[in-house]
Amino acid sequence: MSERTLYDKVWDEHTVTELPTGQTQLFVGLHLIHEVTSPQAFGMLGERDMEVAYPDLTHATVDHIVPTADQSRPFDDDAAEEMMSELEQNVRDSGIEFDDPTTGDQGIVHVIGPEQGLTEPGTTIVCGDSHTSTHGAFGALAFGIGTSQIRDVLATQTVAMEKKKVRKIEVTGDLGPGVGAKDVILTIIRKLGVDGGVGYVYEYAGEAIESLDMEGRMSICNMSIEGGARAGYVNPDETTYEWLRETDAFRDDPEKFEAHKEYWESITSDADAEYDDVVTINGDEIEPVVTWGTTPGQGIGVTEAIPEPDALPADKQETARGSQEHMRVEPGETMQGYDIDVAFLGSCTNARLPDLRAAADVVDGREVDSSVRAMVVPGSQRVKEAAEAEGLDETFREAGFEWRGAGCSMCLGMNEDQLEGDQACASSSNRNFVGRQGSKEGRTVLMSPVMVAAAAITGEVTDVRELPEVAVQ
C-alpha cells in the first residue's frame, strides 16, 4: 500500500468514517455539476424528500448541449432547451451558483473550475463526468462519479469510495519540438493500456511533467481515465502556485493565498513516499502521436507504422482488426497522408489559451485546405475572450477556421456540432470511440492541437515538424 503520497494525505484529510461495506466515506471539497448527469440526481433527491446539504460547495455550468454558434434562448433544439431549463430550476431551488452563458464565465466544466480558482491543491473534487481527473493537475484528488453518487454528494457532501493503489509515472528528459502534453499522455496510455490504470490513481512526475505549464498538466490528467485510472495528479509546485495567485479566488487576497499555500505545500508527496508501482517513460523519445484506431490506446508516433493486429497481445487483436476496418487503415503504413474532412480544435483536453496560441502559430499565414471544415471551439467564455484580446480569432478566421462559442461541441454528439457520414476528423479531444463525434461511420484521429492545425492546413494527417516554412509576406 502507498504511503505518504499526496493521495494518501488528501485521502486521510477528507476521511469521515469507514462504512460497513469497508468503503471510506469521503468529504467532497468541491462538487461540480453540468446539465447531462445532474437532473436525475436532483430527481432522486426530490423523491426522497432530501435537500442539498452544502449548496455553497457545488458549482454548476452548462457545456455538453449548448450550441456553439448561437447561444440565445430558447435553444433551437427542444431537448437541449429542456435540459437547460431543468438545470436552471434545480440550481435556483437549491441555491447553487451557476455560470450560465450570460455570465461570461460559462464553459466546459473542467476548464472553468481551474480558471476561476475553484480547483485547489489538496482538495477533493467530484463531478458526474469522467474527465474530472483533469483537476488533478493542481494536486487535487479529483474523480468522476455516477448519477447515484451525485445524489449522495448533494444529500451529504460525501461519497463512498474504496482506496486505490498509487502508480507513479515518471516522464524523464525533455520533450522535443512539436511534442507536447497530449503526446505524452497518448504515449502513456499506449504503453500501459486503456485498462492498465484500473485500480490505480496515477501520480505524474519527472522533469518532462514538471516543466509543463498548468494547461499541459491538465491535458495529461484529463486523459487518466482513458488509461483506466479514475484519477491522476501532479504534485503542486511553484508553477501551480503562480497560476493560482492570478485566479479570482486569490487575486485580491494575498493573505488567503499564503494561508492556503501552507496547506498546499503540506500535502505534496514526501520524497520518501511509497508507491504501489513505478513506471518510467523516456520523454526524449516521444514524438507527435496520432491514433489509428477506435480506442485512445491505439496510438502511434506519427512516423511509426500502424501495427499488424497479429503482432499485438492476444486480447487486443480482435479489437484492433475491428478498429482498422472501421478507420480503413492498413497495417505497415504510417498515418501520414490519411485524408481528413474536419479539423476540430476544442474539448476539455485541449481548448485552453496555450493550446489555441500554439495552434494559431501553426496556421498563421497559411490556409486551411479547401476540402476541410476547420473549427476552433474555446473551452470557456473566458478563454475565448482572452484569445480574442490577443487577436487569435483573427489568425484562425483568416486561415479559414470557424471561431465558435464555448462548449463541448464536437467532442461528443450531444449538440449540433457533429460529424456527418464517414467523415474523418483530426481532433484535439480525448475519445475516438465509434460514434463518439455523432456519426456511427465517423472516423476520429486523436492528436495534439498543433497536429490538428497542421492537418487542417494540408487536409491530411501531417507531421507538424515537417510543415514547410511559410514564405515571408
Q: Which residues are annotated as a binding site for [4Fe-4S] cluster?
A: 348, 408, 411
128 touches other proteins by CB under 8 A: yes
Residue found by looking up cell 501531417 in the block:
462
Stretch that binds other proteins, among 66-74, 216-224, 313-321, 372-380 (CB under 8 A): 313-321
Stretch that binds ligand SF4, among 108-116, 170-178, 247-255, 321-329 (CB under 6 A): 108-116
Please identify which residue in 59, 64, 167, 168 interacts with ligand SF4, judged by CB under 6 A: 64
> Residue 300 binds which entry of ligand SF4, other proteins, none, with Cβ cut-offs from 5 to 8 Å by kind?
none
| 214-222 helix and 353-363 helix, angle to the nearest 10 degrees | 100
Closest CA to 447 of 306, 303, 376, 350: 350
> Residue 80 binds which entry of ligand SF4, other proteins, none, with Cβ cut-offs from 5 to 8 Å by kind?
other proteins
CA atoms within 13 A on the CB side of 449: 30
Distance (Å, whole) CA 417 – CA 408: 9
Site mask for ligand SF4 (CB under 6 A), range 208-247, x = bound: ----------------------------------------
Residues 396-455 that bind ligand SF4 (CB under 6 A): 408, 411-412, 429-430
Cα end-to-end distance, the chain, whole Å: 61
For the bound state, the minimum distance from the C-beta of residue 275 to ligand SF4, rounded and expressed in Å, comes to: 28
Distance (Å, whole) CA 269 – CA 11: 12
Q: Say which DSSP state 467 is in.
A: P
> Residue 348 binds which entry of other proteins, ligand SF4, none, with Cβ cut-offs from 5 to 8 Å by kind?
ligand SF4
Distance (Å, whole) CA 464 – CA 451: 6
For ligand SF4, give the closer residue by CB, 412 or 446. 412
Please answer whether residues 290 and 33 qualify as being in contact, where contact means their C-beta atoms are separated by less than 8 angstroms.
Answer: no
For other proteins, give the closer residue by CB, 135 or 431. 431
> Residue 14 binds which entry of other proteins, ligand SF4, none, with Cβ cut-offs from 5 to 8 Å by kind?
other proteins
**HEC letters along 377-411:** CCCEHHHHHHHHHCCHHHHHHHHCEEECCCCCHHH
For the bound state, the minimum distance from the C-beta of residue 316 to other proteins, rounded and expressed in Å, comes to: 7
Chain positions contacting ligand SF4, by CB under 6 A:
63-64, 108-110, 129, 131, 347-348, 408, 411-412, 429-430
